[in-house]
Amino acid sequence: MLRFLRRRAIFFIFTYILTSLMVFFMLRILPGDPARVIAGGREASEQQVQEIREEFGLDRPLPVQYLTWVTDFVRGDWGESVSFPGNSNRDLILQRTGNSMRLALVALALSIPISLLLGIIAGLTENKLPDSIISILTLSVVSLPEFVTGLFLINIVALRWQNNPIAEYFGWWFPSSSAVPANATFQEALPALWLPAIAATLVLLAYISRLTRAGVIEELKRDYVRTATLKGIPYRTVIFRHVLRNALLPTITVIAISISWLISGLVVIEFVFGYPGLGRLLIRAIELRDLPLTQAIIMVTVSIILVANLSADMIYAILNPRIKLE
Amino acid sequence: MQDKEKNLLLEVDALNISYKIKGDWIRAVSDFCMELKPGQIYGLVGESGSGKSTIAQALMRYLSANGRIDHGSILNFMGDDLTYANPAQMRSLWTQKIKFVPQNAGAALNPSMKIGKQMTEIVKHALNINGKEAQKLVIEMFNKVQLVDPEKVYERYPHELSGGMQQRVVIAMALITDPELLIMDEPTTGLDVTTEAVILDLVRNLIAERDTGVVYITHNLGVVAQLCERVLVLYAGEVMEDAAVNQLFSQAFHPYTIGLLNSIPRPGITKRDSLLQSIQGSPPSLRERKDACVFVDRCPFVIDKCHDIKPGLEKIADNRLVRCHRWEEIEAGELSFKTEEALTINHELNEQSETIMRVDEIAKHFPVQRSIQNALSGKEPPPIRAVDGINLSIRQGHTLGLVGESGSGKTTLSRVIIGLQERTSGKIELLGMDIRNTVRERSPDVLAKIQMVFQNPQNSLNPYLSVRQTIRRPLMKLRGLSRQEADREVLELLQAVNLRREYAARYPGELSGGEKQRVVIARAFASDPDLIICDEPVSALDVSVQSAVLNLLARLQDENGTSYLFISHDLAVVGYLADYLAVMYLGQLFEVGSAKELFNPPYHPYTEALVSAIPVASPEVRENRILLEGTVPSAQNVPSGCRFHTRCPRKIGAICEDEAPPWLGDGEGHFIRCHIPLDELRELQNPLTTETDSA
């Protein structure tokens, strides 16, 4: 286990270095001069731009800029926000990350049980009616991009139902704006959460349920299932005690990995719903060519994805006796 | 009638089984019948595609979803008709009375559940015993199937056990409820002969203690001879012959059975004595059922009647059944198999012939990654000594057979010689010249001179290349022929391996197993090699096909003067083809000598055990076997002194544990590595009874 963690730690460090390099240099290659943007755009005089350059160290050689940025980032000094004056980048990002996490959690809490259930039913009834229905449903959902389902939900549910007596009765569930006050409790945030959460759920639903179905079908063909059945134990015991444990092993990894997938989905969903999460902040930061903020957001995202993948590996290894973390 | 039915455990009649394949119901088994008494071990023998596993599944009423038992079949178990039993009824029978022992024990155990839990689950459900009581019962059963350290096994996961141990667990699972009927589907296939011998012994004793009836399914007539009371021979889904084992092995009445029996290489018989009999052609496709005998295309005694009328299963004297129009003529001895002329290798072992290859102190050690403990204490873990100092030489036109259990390092040795794996130390000389480590470093000339035939023809042919393309490659790349020349040569090679010209255009998917292996052999011969390494070339093939491939290899060797390094776990097969034999154990050689001598004392105690473990296809030879305990020790911690001392039945004392044994020679090229003097060994050991000895 220690050995595994050590190897993983080294792997982490290299991934971080590589992604930070890519993020840093790719953003420099983009057209437009960040110093001019900060200085106020076209109207700013050459001198103002020059001052900004010096202030932010943008006139120094790129490697030096990179190193300063990395050391500051590691120390936790992510700079004062240029685009949102009065806030530090770190506070901004952490608050927005919290919002996104809430959304992601609700999405996962909805999608995992539903998709596992659908996947298992489909797997156990391979090529029969329930399987066909589930497969058609999940496939049609997966073929709709999240911005389409998002817009659909907004139009049908949020806008149409707003003046509907039923909606009025459940008024709390249909807030007129998706704005979430900073430091809102979970309960306060929930009304704004559930519609985008459904859109995010649909992103994962099809994916996880297809994989669960494949896992169940594959395990059912294995010899040990025959052994278990011929023990004469009840069918449900064969399924629950023998098949599911093995069938869900790969699914668990997939769920952890799909968290990274969810994050990219969230960027779009947050934008469509105007939900104040990390994804929307990223889009805004790029629009404003706010380099320090963009870089910091991407590095945070990378961390989340790496941690999700690591926990996937570890959970898998703990549940699978054939793998020893050596 | 009533009485007769009472003491029958299982009565099957007119059993027809079909599978739905691409919309059509295809009959896989037709008109199967058998009667099993309590305490009887009934062998079901057949080659792949004969329907034997389908019958096993049908008897369990556990056919795959696309299979069905057709109307009119009778399947009586202890007086109850199971033909139309519903799943709930079957489940209650599966719980206790009818048990199944599958072929691949490793896959048959749940990989993520501890062995103990998988066992107690049965005890709880079938016998309603829980907790400590259940555990005690399981451990008792583990003791009965002779599992070492039953308490530890209880806490293990399946992958932590060896193949033999897994098989014992599966047998324990079946026997723990004291079933009435046991269906064993090839339970020893895939195990080493030594392990197989131990398991067969175990099954025989366990069954003798109870009154369980056993249906034992196998492709190995030797196993039937050793274990069963009655035997039923299946071909293309039909019963060909059904008789008591003694009767069948003393005189078979069906041409197919006779062909099968003749195609088994017997220990002590070599290519110089006689060609192996083989059955021409391959089994019919189940789709095209005709009103003819199913064996008609391959039968040497075929007459017009066989094409027109399907023979019925006739009940003849001594409670035997046979399905053949001409069995009476066969019984009377009026028909005899044309004895294929023996191979024209009349030259005796030629001591003068040139040495093709010399392997000098070859070693292959696999380094082991350091664990945390080792890293802390600064110790380097010992490497895995897969091959540890082997000396061999192979003469031109001769075959050196290499035998040993799995884990002995024989495959690693072959991979080092062919250059697929880098050697740790040692020298390989080809025609007096040193050759380099790996294929990548070797020149095309060297590559052309050593070729290889692998075990599984399925995996060693590229499915997207036609036969012509496959054989053309070495011709063009290694022999430098032009495309036209190569294409011409392809046809000649196909002819040499007895395949028609049309086969050049076919793809591996369109070939049977035997045909694929012929293509592989043709490819190996394409570069005109001096040495071909054959790694278990026939063990994936059916017996009737196997003999034809062995004959082919013998003939090609004679025509081309090629040398073989022939690796196999099957001593009879190696013994047939080899001129010299080398016995390998834990990375070292323990005996070398001419193939004839190796089957007669004195032999090394390990060889003795290997020879005695061969399931000989004649029921008379059911003598005391030498059963080796345990498995080959880990090559990472090889035992001190003689590496075999941990399992040696003839261990003489501390000297075996402390000192590496010397090579003892008899002065005629036969060497044994043992502390016991040769004369003493000769006195201790029994010669193997073979046909030639009695004749």
Q: Do B121 and A223 touch (CB under 8 A)?
A: no
Mean pLDDT of B318-323: 91
Contact A325, A6 (CB under 8 A): no
Q: What are the b/e assignments for A247-269, b being 16+ CB within 10 Å?
A: bbbbbbbbbbebbbebbebbbbb
Q: In CATH terms, is domain A89-319 a member of 2.40.50.140?
A: no
Whether B109 sits inside 8 A of A222 (CB atoms) is: no
Q: What does the block give as tokens for A184? A: 């809102």
CA distance A293 to chain B (A): 42
Q: Which stretch, A52-56, B138-142, B260-264, has highest mean pLDDT?
A: B138-142
Pair (B323, B432) in one structural domain: no
Test B126 with A234 for CB contact under 8 angstroms.
no
Residue B29 within any structural domain of the chain: no
A326 interface with B at CB cutoff 8 Å: yes
What ranges in A221-326 are assigned the alpha helix state H?
Answer: 223-230, 235-237, 244-273, 278-287, 291-319
Rounded to the nearest 10 degrees, the angle between the axes of helix A278-287 and helix A89-124 is 130
Q: Residue B335: is it exposed, middle or buried by C-beta count within 10 angstroms (0-12/13-18/19+)? A: middle
For residues B158 and B291, state if they share a domain. Answer: no
User: What domain range includes position B397?
Assistant: 355-588
B378 with B289, same domain: the answer is: no
B-chain residue closest to A246, CA distance: B112
Query: Has residue B371 got a pLDDT over 80?
Result: no
Residue B132 is predicted with a pLDDT of: 92
Judge whether B563 and B525 are in contact, CB under 8 Å: no
| pLDDT score recorded for residue B613 | 85
Q: Radius of gyration of chain B from Cα atoms?
A: 27
The pLDDT of residue B278 is 80
Q: Is B235 domain-assigned? A: no
Two structure tokens written together for B299: 């039968």
Answer whether residue B687 shows pLDDT above 80.
Answer: no
Give the pLDDT confidence score for residue B29 in this predicted structure: 92
pLDDT at B346: 47
Q: What is the pLDDT of residue B4?
A: 47
Where in chain A are all domains bearing CATH 1.10.3720.10? 89-319
- Residue A228 makes CB contacts below 8 A (sequence gap 6+) with A237, A238, A241, A242, B110
**Distance, in angstroms, between B168 CA and closest chain A CA?**
14
Q: Name residue, tokens 């007096």.
A: B432
B404 vs A85, B426, B566, B663, CA distance in Å?
Answer: 79, 21, 12, 18
The type of residue at B430 is L
User: Which of B176, B211, B229 delimits the end of a domain?
Assistant: B176
**Residue to test with chain B: of A5, A224, A236, most B Cβ within 10 A:** A224
Residue A170, pLDDT > 60, answer no
Over residues B81-115, the pLDDT tens digits come to: 898 888 889 999 999 999 999 988 989 999 989 99
* H or E stretch covering B286: none
Do residues B412 and B484 share a domain? yes
> What pLDDT score does B90 carry?
92
Q: Is the pLDDT of residue A326 over 50?
A: no
Based on the fold, state whether residues B407 and B477 are members of the same structural domain: yes
Contacts 24+ apart (CB under 8 A), B511-517: B511/B467, B512/B282, B512/B545, B513/B48, B513/B457, B513/B458, B513/B540, B513/B541, B513/B542, B513/B545, B514/B282, B514/B541, B514/B542, B514/B545, B514/B548, B514/B549, B515/B282, B516/B457, B516/B458, B516/B461, B517/B453, B517/B457, B517/B541, B517/B549
What is residue B40's predicted lDDT score, i.e. its pLDDT?
A: 93
- Which pLDDT tens digit goes with each residue over B511-548? 888 889 999 999 999 999 999 999 988 888 888 888 88
Q: How far is B373 from B379, CA to CA, in rounded Å? A: 8
Instruction: Please give the residue that has the higher pLDDT: either B176 or A191.
Output: B176
> Is the per-residue pLDDT at B695 higher than 50?
no
% of chain A exceeding 70 in pLDDT: 88
Tokens for B596, please give them. 């004839």
Is the Cα torsion angle B478, B482, B484, B488 positive or negative in sign? negative
DSSP code at position B240: E
Residue A78 binned pLDDT confidence (cut-offs 50, 70, 90): confident
Residue B155 — left, alpha, or beta (φ > 0 → left; ψ -120 to 50 → alpha)? Answer: alpha
B112 and A230 within 8 Å at the Cβ level: the answer is no
Among B94, B159, B371, whose Cβ lies nearest the Cβ of A232? B94
CA distance B172 to B150: 12
- Section B254-258 average pLDDT: 92
Tens digits of residue pLDDT in B466-492: 999 999 999 999 998 999 999 999 999
| A91 membership: H or E segment, kind and range | helix A89-124
Contacts of A184 (CB under 8 A, 6+ apart): none
Chain B within 8 Å of A112 (Cβ-Cβ)?
no
Residues B360 and B449 in one domain: yes
CA B249, B254, B258 angle in degrees (round to 5)?
50
What value does the mean pLDDT take over residues B64-69?
89
**Same-domain pairing of B127 and B265:** no
B17 — pLDDT class (breaks 50, 70, 90): very high
User: How many beta carbons lie within 10 A of that of residue B279, not counting itself?
Assistant: 25
Tell me, yes or no, whether B523 lies in a domain. Answer: yes
Q: Which residue has the higher pLDDT, A316 or A222?
A: A222
Domains identified in chain B, total number: 3
Q: Across B5-9, B105-109, B264-268, which has the greatest mean pLDDT?
A: B105-109
Give the lowest-confidence range in B202-216, B229-243, B466-480, B628-642: B628-642
Give residue-wise pLDDT tens across range A245-286: 889 888 887 787 777 778 778 888 888 888 888 888 998 888
Does B107 sit within 8 Å of A222, measured CB to CB?
A: yes
Q: How far apart are CA B346 and CA B558, in angstroms?
A: 10
Contact B110 A224 (CB under 8 A): yes
Q: What are the pLDDT digits (tens) for A21-31?
A: 998 888 887 77
How many C-beta neighbours within 10 Å does residue B584 have?
23
- Is A163 or B580 the better-scoring residue by pLDDT? B580
**Chain B nearest-CA residue for A237:** B121
Distance of residue B163 Cα from the nearest chain A Cα, in angstroms: 15
Whether residue B260 sits in one domain with residue B121: no
For residues B449 and B361, membership in a common domain is answered with yes
Instruction: Round the average pLDDT of chain B to a whole number and report it.
Output: 87
Domain boundary among B176, B201, B227: B176
Q: What pLDDT does residue B350 have?
A: 61
Average pLDDT of the segment spanning B331-346: 65
My answer on whether B313 and B360 are in the same domain is no
Does residue B564 contact residue B399 with C-beta atoms inside 8 Å? yes
Strands across the sheet with B230-235, in order? Answer: B98-101, B181-185, B213-218, B41-45, B230-235, B238-244, B320-322, B314-316
Phi-psi label, residue A224: left if phi above 0, alpha if psi -120 to 50, beta otherwise: alpha
Output the pLDDT for position B43: 95
Q: Provide the pLDDT for residue B257.
A: 93
| ipTM of predicted assembly, 2 dp | 0.81
Say which residues have a Cβ less than 8 Å from residue A18's Cβ, sequence separation at least 6: none
What is the mean pLDDT of the segment spanning B549-568?
A: 91
> Are the Cβ atoms of B372 and A232 closer than 8 angstroms?
no
CA distance B336 to B105: 42
pLDDT beyond 50 at B692: no
CATH number for B398: 3.40.50.300
Contact status of A227 with chain B (Cβ, < 8 Å): yes
| pLDDT tens profile B120-142 | 999 999 989 988 999 999 999 99
Residue B1's pLDDT is what?
A: 40
At residue B494, the pLDDT reads 93
Residues in chain A: 326
pLDDT at A199: 86
Residue B111 sits in the same domain as residue B145: yes
pLDDT band for position B691 (cuts 50, 70, 90): very low
CA distance B242 to B255: 13
In a domain, B271, yes or no: yes
> Any residues with CB less than 8 A from the CB of A171 and at least 6 apart, and which?
none
- Residue in the structure block whose two tokens are 């255009």: B505
Domain boundary residue, one of B139, B156, B176: B176
